[in-house]
Amino acid sequence: MIGRAAAFACALLLLAAPAAVPAQRLPRGAPRLIVHEDAPCPADSAEEIVVCSRGVLTPEAQRLLRAVARCMVGHWPRDARALLTADLEGATYHGAARRFIARHPGCTPRGTLSFGGLLFAGALAETLMRTYDDLPERVAYRPSLPALRVTNDPDLMSVCAVRGEPAAAAALLRSMPGSAEEEAAVRALQPRLADCLRAGLTARFNRPALRALLALSAYRLAVHNAG
């Protein structure tokens, strides 16, 4: 079982990492945020922000990812919360994710899985949130608290969007992955997401990566507000 968990840990970090490429001048009226549904982003994308998995995440794989997250959070909620405090871009998170999975065998199925680190963290965040009925209150800006630290442009965009459209973010996170409800919720959020991008940037996502990013931002905001 430990060997299978280690294989899962290695595969876990192959996908879904933000990548920056040189900026380009956008033609007038060009979209600033592009969502590729469940398909991978093109490898030759010229957009500045690219956050996608390298393969299509099938409905079966999405269900499996959620099942693994529920199992791990159900057995080790404190360790799952600790994992989400790591910087998802750095080696700190990669090492923490490997240790988390290796030390908690029993939730991963036979064989090798290839979920991205961002997708796995997003699934943990969704499971830890549990309910979204009061999300607007949980993520609302509170001037008495210090500012929430963000580390990159995707973080900034998603935190801004969750705070600006908390009801729409809650609708997205209540929906089943790959469903028509999820697709509609992403479409409803796209204008806000585009407005939340820093001036001069264009972003390209696929839907599973965008959902994971928003789930992480909602979770971080709720934890931040709770002190």
User: pLDDT, tens digit, for every residue of 198-220?
Assistant: 888 888 888 888 999 999 999 99
Q: How far apart are CA 199 and CA 201, in angstroms?
A: 6
Residue among 192, 222, 207 at smallest CA distance from 53: 207
Strands 49-51 and 19-20: antiparallel
* Residue burial 40-76, b: 16+ Cβ < 10 Å; e: rest: ebeeebebbbbbbbeeebeeebbebbeebbeebbeeb
Q: What is the mean pLDDT of residues 80-100?
A: 75
- Does position 22 have pLDDT exceeding 50, yes or no? no
Q: What pLDDT, on a 0 to 100 scale, did the predictor assign at position 218?
A: 94
* pLDDT grade for 159, boundaries at 50, 70 and 90: very high
- Does position 127 have pLDDT exceeding 90, yes or no? yes
**More reliable by pLDDT, 26 or 174:** 174
Domain count, the chain: 1
Tokens of 200: 């001069």
Beta strands in the chain (DSSP E): 19-20, 33-35, 49-51, 203-205
CA angle 217, 82, 149 (to 5 degrees): 40
- Does position 68 have pLDDT exceeding 70, yes or no? yes
Q: What is the mean pLDDT of residues 5-26?
A: 29
Q: What is the mean pLDDT of residues 73-100?
A: 79
* pLDDT grade for 162, boundaries at 50, 70 and 90: very high
On average, the pLDDT of the chain sits at: 76
Which residues constitute the domain of residue 165?
2-225
CA-based max dimension of the chain: 55
With tokens 């990013």, the residue in question is 213
Q: How far apart are CA 218 and CA 169, in angstroms?
A: 8
Q: What pLDDT, on a 0 to 100 scale, did the predictor assign at position 41?
A: 67
Residue among 142, 143, 99, 123 at smallest CA distance from 219: 123
- Does position 56 have pLDDT exceeding 80, yes or no? no
Q: How far apart are CA 188 and CA 202, in angstroms?
A: 18
